[in-house]
Amino acid sequence: MSVVSTAIDGVLILEPRVLGDARGYFMESFDQKSFNDVVGHQAVFVQDNHSRSAKGVLRGLHYQLPTAHTK
């Protein structure tokens, strides 16, 4: 995530990193720990992800330990 300061004191623009290829893309649009580290405030919202698949791409499920993401 990149952080951009603005002319308004305390207002930041948080730009997520988008990982993509010919099949589509994935981005983690919010992560509580990263947010807290950047702005110094606690957030209730834990995490949000967004993805897009190109036509004909089949996505699968992943088994992940110890901190699994819901798929």
Q: What is the 3-state secondary structure (H, E, C) of the chain?
A: CEEEECCCCCCEEEECCEEEECCEEEEEEEEHHHHHHHHCCCCCCCEEEEEEECCCCCCCCCCCCCCCCCC
pLDDT of residue 36: 87
Domain with 11 in it: 2-53
Which phi and psi (to 5°) does residue 39 adopt? -105, -15
- pTM here is 0.51
Question: Which residue stretches of the chain have pLDDT < 70?
Answer: 61-65, 67-71
Q: Is residue 65 one of the residues assigned to a domain?
A: no
Q: Is residue 17 one of the residues assigned to a domain?
A: yes
Structural domains counted in the chain: 1
Q: Is residue 58 one of the residues assigned to a domain?
A: no
pLDDT of residue 2: 86
Q: Is residue 44 one of the residues assigned to a domain?
A: yes
Q: Is residue 37 one of the residues assigned to a domain?
A: yes
d(C-alpha 22, C-alpha 53), whole Å: 9
pLDDT of residue 67: 67
